[in-house]
């Protein structure tokens, strides 16, 4: 009896850490992930406005010719796009952290695949850097018309590389969200409704990215789902989870 009394005195410890500190850290990670999901949706809308507002051309030749007029808005849009991708990284990490207790395998696989997809999207997030150099040579007084034609073809090739990276990135991100959503269906924190919604939305994005090219206007609704609807859905639920009062923990 005396031993039991002594054992109950003092804070509970897990792996050498106070349980209260552990749960506070968990809540902080989940809360930050929730805010990151909401930020991703907001920043992508601003990025889309900047990029679409600076689009004034109808073909690759016009793109190269008009690039100096739209380079600023494109740089702003690309910067906001990168913020979106980085915010999604934080969201995916927070989802993994929250879901690993219910299904560590699905959380690990979904988080890993989603992170690989986001890595591809991050690498291709600054196309204006490559385009600026091509445009600089194109508009040089010493560049001949034949060289300008070659530069237009080079522009198209670079554009195709970025499109390929974006397509793979979106498909892997969608697949990662689908797997994470399967884990959500077994999680009492999220529930079957959020999990099923995530699976359906992720499958829709995966289907759209597999049949449309990045140059097609039909691709935008699927990008909107991946970068706005799903991050806001997951982010708002993470934020809701972080606000729950845990037993024995203040704040």
DSSP 139: T
Mean pLDDT of 164-171: 93
The pLDDT of residue 152 is above 50: yes
Please state at what angle helix 60-99 crosses helix 145-184, rounded to 10 degrees.
20
Indicate the domain borders of the chain: 17-242
C-alpha to C-alpha distance for 117 and 124, rounded to whole angstroms: 11
Q: Which residues contact 167 (CB under 8 A, 6 or more apart)?
A: 209, 213, 214
pTM confidence score: 0.84
Q: pLDDT tens across 7-66, in order?
A: 444 445 444 444 444 477 788 899 999 999 999 999 999 999 988 876 655 666 777 888
What's the token pair of residue 79? Answer: 């910067």
Question: In this predicted structure, what is the pLDDT of residue 20?
Answer: 46
Query: Among 53-67, 169-183, 221-235, which stretch is predicted with the lowest mean pLDDT?
Result: 53-67
Could you tell me if residue 124 is left (phi over 0), alpha (psi between -120 and 50 degrees) or otherwise beta? alpha
Backbone angles phi, psi at 161, to 5 degrees: -65, -45
Q: 99-134 burial by CB neighbour count: b if 16+ within 10 A, else e?
A: beebbeebbebbbebbbbbbbbbbebbbbbebbeeb
Average pLDDT of span 124-152: 89
User: Residue 3's pLDDT band (boundaries 50, 70, 90)?
Assistant: very low
Q: Looking at the predicted structure, is the pLDDT value of residue 99 above 50?
A: yes
């Amino acid at each position: 009896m005396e031993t039991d009394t002594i054992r109950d005195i003092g804070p509970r410890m897990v792996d050498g850490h106070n349980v209260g500190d552990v749960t506070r850290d968990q809540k902080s990670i989940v809360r930050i992930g929730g805010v990151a999901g909401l930020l991703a949706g907001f920043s992508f809308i601003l990025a889309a406005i900047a990029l679409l507002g600076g689009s004034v051309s109808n073909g690759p030749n016009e793109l190269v010719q008009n690039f100096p007029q739209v380079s600023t808005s494109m740089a702003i849009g690309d910067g906001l796009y990168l913020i979106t991708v980085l915010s999604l990284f934080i969201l995916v990490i927070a989802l993994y952290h929250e879901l690993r207790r219910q299904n560590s395998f699905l959380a690990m696989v979904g988080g890993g695949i989603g992170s690989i997809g986001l890595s591809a999207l991050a690498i291709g997030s600054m196309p204006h850097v490559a385009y600026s150099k091509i445009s600089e040579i194109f508009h040089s007084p010493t560049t001949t018309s034949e060289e300008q034609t070659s530069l237009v073809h080079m522009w198209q090739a670079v554009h195709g590389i970025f499109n390929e990276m974006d397509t793979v990135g979106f498909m892997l991100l969608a697949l990662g969200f689908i797997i994470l959503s399967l884990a959500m269906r077994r999680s009492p924190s999220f529930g079957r409704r959020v999990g099923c919604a995530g699976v359906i939305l992720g499958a829709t994005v995966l289907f759209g990215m597999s049949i449309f090219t990045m140059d097609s206007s039909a691709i935008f609704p699927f990008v909107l789902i991946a970068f706005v609807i799903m991050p806001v859905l997951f982010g708002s639920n993470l934020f809701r989870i972080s606000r729950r009062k845990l037993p024995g923990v203040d704040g």
